[in-house]
Chains A and B, each alone.
Chain A
Amino acid sequence: MARDMSDKDILKMEIEQLQKEVKNTREPVSKTAKELCEFVEAQSAEDPLIKGVPEDKNPFKEKGGCIIT
């Protein structure tokens, strides 16, 4: 495995990988960041840790207490 490889072999592996990666297609940050913000904002409406959860729907609400009738 990696620990048994000589420095030379590790470097060759890295070089082969880098040669492949240089050719990857990529998109500009202006486009991807905008899409990221849109995606997260859309999902935020359903995110309990952001919007909170009404007491009656909270699965972890403490049970107990008294009701006065």
Chain B
Amino acid sequence: MCDQTFVAITFGPCDSCSQNKPLMNIYLQNEPVNYCSLCVELMACQGLAKGETVSTLRAESENLKAKLEEERAKLHDVELHQVAEKVETLGQFVIKTRRTLKGHGNKVLCMDWCRDKRRMVSSSQVIMRSAAVCVLQEHAVTMPCTWVMACAYAPSGCVIACGGLDNKCSVYPLSLDKNENLAAKKKSVAMHTNYLSACSFTNSDMQLLTSSGDGTCALWDVESGQLLQSFHGHSADVLSLDLAPSETGNTFVSGGCDKKANVWDMRSGQNIQSFETHESDINSCRLYDLRADREVAIYSKESIIFGASSVDFSLSGRLLFAGYNDYNINVWDVLKGTRVAILFGHENRVSTVRVSPDGTAFCSGSWDNTLDFNPV
């Protein structure tokens, strides 16, 4: 964890050598201790004495990464698309945008479906909106911060969570009364030390999982606001997270600016597996197989020169929808690795793509201030 050093004018017995000297209040492993300046120096030198410099550590890290790749390579006996040759080819993929939702006055940054498959919540630079796609009824909540980067619907459909540059994730109970001031019922749940990048309820309305620019993910109890578990392991901002689809779900994956995708055990806080991509890996989407512990497919084309910002699977997992910074959505055949469709519907970056819970539609949000709703 972090070591922080403060200088304070206290005089007394040193916690290390027991001599009476001017003391420095320092934190070791998050515990406050008082060391005299000589002991602080000695402690700092101990690290160096063992020859443990940044470069030796880096070398050890590279060695371990190479060893890990070696172990993974031993089991890389075939490619996914080769195994998928026997799979029936997909028919032509045709979809039309049925409705464009224009309620946001700013870039749409995030959206989530309600489990009732008829409602969605979306957030933008200033406002969070919840809209029903069949019934044109909307709630809008003005947020006190700019850039509401994350929003999520609770499983019950009665509560919405969102946050962004305010470093918090707050929950809002929804009401049928359009005129009710939702902002007044806001309750802050998660507190990070940097922006909130993503949030998701677990299988219940009672727990909220968040990821942040502070490099951590965290699990919170919604009622009390208590931190139940924190997840440390990323060495840079965490940008996204997703829970494993399971009734007894206990794992989730997070993606960070450190180019890693980490798989976490929610109960222990442990990082179970981690996948790292390389410098040259931009503008592609990749499929990682958790049991084979490796990447098994890459979805890219030379003609695609912009990165993808958001991905989601269709219900069966056969199709992968990815929204790109070149304003398009590419639909990929997950097993064969080929592209089955390009959807042109937006006039700016696509920031979020989500398939509905029953798989009958998908929705895309964009920096062109709109959401495109595409049903079967």
Contact = CB atoms under 8 A, between A and B. Distances in A.
Interface residues of B, number: 71
B293 A11 contact: no
Interface string B171-196: 00000000000000000000001100
Nearest to A42: B316
A33 interface: yes
Interface in B303-343: 314-319, 334-335
A3 B214 contact: yes
A21 B214 contact: no
A45 to B, nearest CB: 8
A contact patch SS: helix
B54 A33 contact: no
A52 B315 CA distance: 12
Majority DSSP secondary structure for residues of B touching A:
loop
Contacts of B355: 49
Contact of A18 (B68, B72, B83, B95): B68
Contacts of B296: 29, 32-33, 36
A22 interface: yes
A69 interface: no
Range for the number of chain A residues in contact with chain B: 35 or more
Nearest to B95: A49
Contacts of B335: 36-37, 40
B155 to A, nearest CB: 20
Nearest to B87: A37
B64 A18 contact: yes
Contacts of A27: 75, 291-292
B271 interface: yes
Given A13-B233, A26-B292, 13 more contacts: A11-B60, A15-B57, A18-B64, A26-B293, A29-B294, A40-B316, A41-B318, A48-B376, A49-B319, A50-B316, A58-B375, A59-B117, A60-B361
Nearest 5 interchain pairs by C-beta = A2-B215, A43-B316, A60-B375, A47-B316, A18-B64
16 contacts: A1-B216, A11-B61, A18-B68, A21-B273, A21-B274, A28-B75, A29-B289, A33-B78, A33-B79, A33-B83, A44-B318, A47-B314, A47-B318, A49-B95, A59-B118, A59-B134
Interface of B: 1-4, 47, 52, 54, 57-58, 60-61, 64-65, 67-68, 71-72, 75-80, 83-84, 86-88, 90, 95, 98, 117-118, 133-134, 193-194, 214-216, 232-236, 271-274, 289, 291-294, 296, 314-319, 334-335, 355, 358-362, 375-376
Interface of A: 1-15, 17-19, 21-22, 24, 26-34, 36-37, 39-41, 43-50, 52-53, 58-60, 62
